Amino acid sequence: MRYGLLVQGAPYSSQASHSALRFATALIARGHQLECVFFYHDGVYNASRLAAPPQDEPHLVDAWRGLNAGHGTQLQVCIAAALRRGLLDERESARHGKTGHSIEPPFELTGLGQLVDLGNQVDRLVTFAP
Amino acid sequence: MILHILNRSPGTSLVYRDTLSAMGPEDRLLLIEDGVLGALTSQVRHFQSVEGRLFALREDLASRGLEGRCDETVQVVDVDGFVTLTEEADKTVSWF
């Protein structure tokens, strides 16, 4: 089956990211296809390229990247939720006259329309919220 | 059949009431995260109306030290079982 996940919880604030990641690993191990993880609301903090957790803790951002590298899962970030929280890719950073950027590929800034499309494309869309 | 997923304890949130009132006769309810507190014998009465269709996530029970205190009417599933529940449902609804 084709799956999509919607993550709305910030890392280290709620269990949502960990629950979603554990579910993602399990569904892939069962032979399903994880098309996309969509990060929305405070979930956009999962995409921060500057995240530097202690080395003896799970690195959530790297774990999401690993899903993309190992499984081709798209990592989409709601642009409206991200920009107002200071999460910008290079293009948006330049557009807003900022120094530096906090989002980089494989995470991509997209709109809510992409979430609607995802819901239509996949067999199951599962939400993990704070 | 819809799989409803609840991550709030009945002791701290009343969202479980909305969940139960939204559930159809065949729908299932999976308790995850702090929601697994509802699977304890002392709390499970809140979910009487869905007895036999009530599940709790083993990993979240275990991480809270509650695995042995889950009521026997609750079906405990691990994360693989969680995936299976989503396979068997037409869709899922998360309550939080």
**Length of chain A measured in residues:** 130
Three-state SS annotation for A77-102: EEHHHHHCCCCCCHHHHHHCCCCCCC
Residues of A in contact with B88 (CB under 8 A): none
pLDDT value, residue A95: 97
All structural domains of chain B? 2-95 (3.40.1260.10)
Domain coordinates in residue numbering, chain A: 2-128
Name the pLDDT band for A4 (thresholds 50, 70, 90): very high
Q: Which residues contact A17 (CB under 8 A, 6 or more apart)?
A: A7, A9, A10, A11, A43, A46, A60, A128
Question: A2-128: what CATH class?
Answer: alpha beta
Mean pLDDT on B58-87 = 97
Name the pLDDT band for A121 (thresholds 50, 70, 90): very high
pLDDT value, residue A125: 98
pLDDT value, residue A16: 98
Residues of B in contact with A26 (CB under 8 A): 79-80, 82-83
Residue B5 contacts A, CB cutoff 8 Å = yes
Per-residue pLDDT reduced to its tens digit, A8-46: 999 989 999 999 999 999 999 999 999 999 999 999 999
From B2's Cα to the closest Cα of chain A, the distance in A is 11
pLDDT value, residue B24: 98
pLDDT value, residue A75: 98
pTM of the model: 0.97
Q: Which residues contact B23 (CB under 8 A, 6 or more apart)?
A: B2, B4, B29, B50
pLDDT value, residue B48: 97
**CB nearest B82 (choices: A16, A23, A127):** A23
Mean pLDDT on B14-23 = 98
Tokens found for residue A107: 């995470």
Residues of B in contact with A10 (CB under 8 A): none
**CB nearest A130 (choices: B91, B93, B96):** B96
Which positions of A are annotated as active-site residues? 78
Contact map slice: B 25-84 vs A, CB within 8 A: 32-34, 59-60, 79-80, 82-83
pLDDT value, residue B46: 98
Q: What are the backbone dihedrals phi and psi of residue A39, each rounded to the nearest 5 degrees, phi first? A: -105, 125
Per-residue pLDDT reduced to its tens digit, A75-115: 999 999 999 999 999 999 999 999 999 999 999 999 999 99
pLDDT value, residue B26: 98
pLDDT value, residue B88: 98
